[in-house]
């Protein structure tokens, strides 16, 4: 019976409709025999079949990822990209990992560092949000630029690399996500200033850019965001949603007004606690990972505008006065001279502010606690800023808005971090400082690389920020041309250039080149060189002025007619290249032999090049044209002294 295939097929076919007992009667077989036949219907596959079944989706996803990378789909997900000349820079698109809507991509200040770390390198990474980035004076006004310049001046034989990868509107999730890539680059030190964006920054508990409040889910999504297939999936979902709704929403107001919407988070609410816990857990992991790699970290306590920033949102909170009542009480105590009580009330008003753009004191407590736990120095920036403020309470004297420092504030922040680097021995190990410690700060500030355009840009960005919600009652749907002009109110060429940059009509580097050219055409060589120095400092791959000019000439961005022999000679004179100064100024002299200023500069170039006789010749011609020129008379005296000393030296040589 078992060998009868036809009967077996019929039983197997009927087995789907009848019970074994019914089949037993129909085919005159025992129930046991029927069950044995039915069992054979479960076909057994070989083991390799199940292996293929499991691996097939993995293989498909892997091949799809490779295909998307090969076709350069979407944006680059790598953390670092090649900047040329053996340099790396953080990927300008890496910020898209943290803004799933695609409406905003934060940038960095584009600090470069060597692909292969040099033996004499001292490499420091800076992590955090917009304040760590230097907003609104970034890139040149960031506190990291103070540290870089000071280290360069004090340790000239070390290869200083201060790499600031902070971004606007990001929080501790971004720092945690970037950290492994940072640690791979062998930093000697990491500086962190973060905590203000835990609620409304990307992936924060109150942000419109969010994956929810599950830390495990957020970390999983951050991991998946490094893959192209995630981009493809998100793009498909967004496209379908756009088709169904007929909308393609883009933000037009300031980022601050868009990212929070109207989300209020009262003190001691569930979301308030979630934000605090999120910061604690992320920072704990950041410090643990850094310690495991043997990389020291310095933390900074958070500082904000206490005295001159009213609470954004005042709501009723059990067991507390409202935020605005606390603020008004603080102002009254300040006016009475009760400074300690006023300070406590200003802090309370900030903590009660239900629109959480300023970090609550709980964040500073966590910073202190974790710093102690992991042996990370904590810079008391809040106390330092208060000490540098009238009445001992920080306000508009060091802040441009609710929490971003002005240039003086950023330099104070840089100095404070540097002081702790010095205190705990985190400085270049290969050489001793060339400048006495007590003089370093003033020399650094005097040599700080910053222009009026950088200052104007910072002022204008702050003006725009404060023209929109929550500083203003109503949100702006968008900024029109007339809005920019009314808010910024430019007065002169540099102001107008800054306005054009803010409207994205010109790039940052082109704006500075235009400003440099403007001063060059007015024969204001010092100002021209100042702007070119900013460009070269920002992009060290240009190396020097010659390198920058070759680069811009290749891009058809400079006119060689602007670079006359006279101007070239003055440039060379200012930067100390006296041979070139003599070369170009002599060329200029051929077409302007009666220009007293030109003759003086040529004489000065010969003097600095220690060609005193030639210096005397051209200086005498200058004095013949302008006999009372004080500078020329002074130079004549200096040349006379040098010639006299030279003659005395020769006489003594012959006597010997």
Last residue of a domain, one of 389, 422, 451: 451
Looking at the structure, tell me whether residues 380 and 411 fall in a common domain: yes
Structure confidence by residue, pLDDT tens digits, 467-483: 888 888 877 767 776 77
Amino acid 562: pLDDT: 94
Last residue of a domain, one of 352, 381, 406: 352
Task: In whole angstroms, give the CA distance from residue 135 to residue 465.
Answer: 11
**Listed range (51-55, 291-295, 307-311, 446-450) with the worst mean pLDDT:** 51-55
Amino acid 139: pLDDT: 96
* 594 part of a folded domain: yes
Looking at the structure, tell me whether residues 115 and 261 fall in a common domain: yes
* 48 part of a folded domain: no
Give how far Cα 429 sits from Cα of 121, 151, 196, 299, 556, Å. 10, 12, 34, 21, 44
Amino acid 134: pLDDT: 97
* 169 part of a folded domain: yes
Structure confidence by residue, pLDDT tens digits, 497-539: 999 999 899 999 999 999 999 999 999 999 999 999 999 999 9
Give how far Cα 289 sits from Cα of 177, 179, 201, 224, 282, Å. 12, 8, 23, 20, 11
Task: In whole angstroms, give the CA distance from residue 34 to residue 7.
Answer: 11
Per cent of the chain over pLDDT 70 is: 93
Domains: count for the chain: 4
**Listed range (13-27, 394-408, 455-469, 588-602) with the worst mean pLDDT:** 13-27
Average pLDDT over residues 22-46: 72
Report pTM: 0.87
Looking at the structure, tell me whether residues 583 and 647 fall in a common domain: yes
Give how far Cα 431 sits from Cα of 158, 420, 424, 642, Å. 8, 18, 16, 36
Give how far Cα 355 sits from Cα of 260, 266, 311, 328, 616, Å. 8, 8, 8, 18, 71
Amino acid 393: pLDDT: 97
Average pLDDT over residues 43-54: 68
- The DSSP annotation for 101-166 comes to T-S--------EEESS--TTEEEEEEEESHHHHTTTSTTTTSHHHHHHHHHHHH-TTSEEEEEE--
Looking at the structure, tell me whether residues 506 and 636 fall in a common domain: yes
* 366 part of a folded domain: yes
Looking at the structure, tell me whether residues 383 and 470 fall in a common domain: no
Amino acid 652: pLDDT: 45
User: Nearest CA to 306 among 333, 286, 331, 277?
Assistant: 331
Report DSSP state, residue 568: H
Looking at the structure, tell me whether residues 322 and 395 fall in a common domain: no
Tell me the CATH number at 122.
Answer: 3.40.50.1110
Looking at the structure, tell me whether residues 505 and 389 fall in a common domain: no
User: Nearest CA to 189 among 237, 256, 142, 121?
Assistant: 121
Structure confidence by residue, pLDDT tens digits, 372-417: 999 999 999 999 999 999 999 999 999 999 999 999 999 999 999 9
* 59 part of a folded domain: no
* 587 part of a folded domain: yes
Domain enclosing residue 319, as ranges: 314-352
Report DSSP state, residue 405: B
* 19 part of a folded domain: yes
- Return mean pLDDT, the chain: 89
E strand or H helix that includes residue 286? helix 270-292
84: left (phi over 0), alpha (psi -120 to 50) or beta: left
pLDDT(338) > 50 = yes
Structure confidence by residue, pLDDT tens digits, 237-282: 777 766 766 555 454 567 776 777 558 999 989 999 999 999 999 9
Structure confidence by residue, pLDDT tens digits, 64-92: 778 878 888 888 889 999 998 999 999 99
Last residue of a domain, one of 390, 424, 451: 451
Tell me the CATH number at 474.
Answer: 1.25.40.10
Looking at the structure, tell me whether residues 425 and 538 fall in a common domain: no
Query: Is 22 or 341 the better-scoring residue by pLDDT?
Result: 341
Looking at the structure, tell me whether residues 234 and 135 fall in a common domain: yes
Looking at the structure, tell me whether residues 377 and 330 fall in a common domain: no
Looking at the structure, tell me whether residues 385 and 488 fall in a common domain: no
Looking at the structure, tell me whether residues 624 and 491 fall in a common domain: yes
pLDDT(42) > 60 = no
State the virtual CA torsion across 345, 348, 354, 356 in degrees, nearest 10: 110
* 164 part of a folded domain: yes
């Amino acid at each position: 019976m078992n060998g009868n295939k036809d009967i077996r097929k019929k039983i197997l076919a009927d087995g789907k409709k009848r019970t074994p007992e019914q089949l037993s009667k129909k085919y005159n077989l025992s129930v046991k025999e029927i069950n044995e036949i039915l069992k054979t219907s479960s076909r057994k596959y070989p083991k390799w079949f199940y292996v293929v079944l499991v691996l097939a989706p993995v293989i498909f996803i892997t091949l799809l990822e490779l295909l998307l990378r090969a076709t350069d789909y979407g944006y680059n997900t790598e953390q670092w990209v090649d900047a040329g000349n053996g340099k790396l820079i953080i990927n300008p698109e890496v910020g898209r990992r943290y803004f799933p809507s695609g409406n905003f991509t934060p940038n960095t200040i584009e600090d470069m560092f060597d692909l292969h770390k040099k033996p004499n390198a001292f490499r420091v990474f800076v992590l955090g949000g917009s304040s760590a980035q230097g907003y609104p004076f970034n890139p040149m006004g960031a506190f990291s630029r103070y540290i870089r310049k000071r280290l360069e001046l004090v340790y000239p034989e070390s290869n200083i690399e201060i790499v600031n990868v902070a971004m606007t509107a990001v929080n501790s999730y971004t720092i945690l996500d970037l950290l492994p890539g940072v640690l791979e680059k062998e930093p000697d030190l990491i500086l962190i200033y973060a905590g203000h964006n835990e609620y409304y920054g990307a992936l924060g508990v109150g942000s419109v850019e969010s994956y929810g409040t599950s830390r495990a889910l957020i970390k999983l999504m951050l991991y998946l965001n490094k893959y192209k297939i995630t981009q493809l999936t998100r793009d498909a979902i967004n496209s379908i949603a756009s088709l169904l709704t007929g909308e393609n929403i883009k933000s037009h107001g300031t980022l601050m007004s868009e990212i929070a919407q109207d989300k209020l988070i009262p003190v001691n609410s569930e979301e308030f606690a979630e934000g605090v816990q999120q910061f604690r857990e992320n920072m704990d992991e950041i410090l643990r990972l850094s310690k495991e790699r043997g990389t020291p970290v310095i933390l900074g306590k958070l500082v904000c505008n206490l005295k001159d920033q009213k609470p954004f949102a005042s709501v009723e909170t059990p067991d507390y006065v409202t935020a605005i009542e606390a603020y008004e009480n603080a102002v009254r105590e300040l006016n009475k001279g009760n400074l300690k009580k006023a300070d406590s009330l200003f802090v309370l008003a900030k903590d009660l502010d239900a629109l959480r753009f300023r970090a609550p004191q709980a964040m500073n407590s966590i910073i202190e606690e974790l710093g102690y736990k992991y042996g990370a120095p904590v810079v008391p920036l809040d106390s330092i800023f208060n000490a540098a403020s009238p009445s001992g309470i920080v306000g508009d004297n060091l802040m441009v808005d609710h929490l971003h420092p002005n240039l003086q504030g950023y330099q104070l922040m840089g100095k404070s971090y540097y002081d702790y680097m010095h205190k705990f021995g985190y400085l270049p190990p290969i050489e001793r400082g060339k400048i006495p410690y007590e003089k370093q700060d003033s020399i650094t500030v005097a040599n700080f690389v910053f222009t009026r355009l950088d200052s104007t840009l910072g002022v204008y960005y702050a003006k725009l920020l404060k023209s929109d919600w929550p500083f203003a009652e109503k949100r702006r749907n968008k900024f029109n041309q007339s809005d920019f002009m009314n808010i910024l109110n430019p007065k002169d060429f540099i102001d107008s250039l800054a306005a054009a940059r803010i409207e994205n009509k010109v790039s940052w580097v082109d704006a500075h080149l235009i400003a440099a050219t403007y001063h060059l055409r007015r024969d204001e060589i010092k100002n021209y060189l100042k702007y070119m120095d900013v460009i070269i400092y920002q992009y060290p791959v240009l190396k020097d002025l010659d390198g920058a000019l070759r680069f811009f000439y290749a891009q058809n961005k400079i006119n060689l007619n602007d670079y006359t022999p006279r101007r070239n000679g003055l440039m060379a004179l200012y930067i100390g290249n006296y041979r070139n100064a003599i070369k170009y100024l002599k060329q200029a002299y051929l077409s302007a032999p009666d220009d007293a200023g030109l003759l003086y500069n040529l004489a000065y170039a010969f003097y600095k090049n220690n060609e005193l006789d030639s210096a005397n010749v051209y200086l005498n011609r200058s004095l013949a044209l302008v006999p009372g020129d004080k500078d020329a008379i002074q130079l004549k005296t200096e040349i006379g002294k040098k010639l006299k000393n030279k003659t005395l030296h020769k006489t003594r040589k012959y006597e010997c």
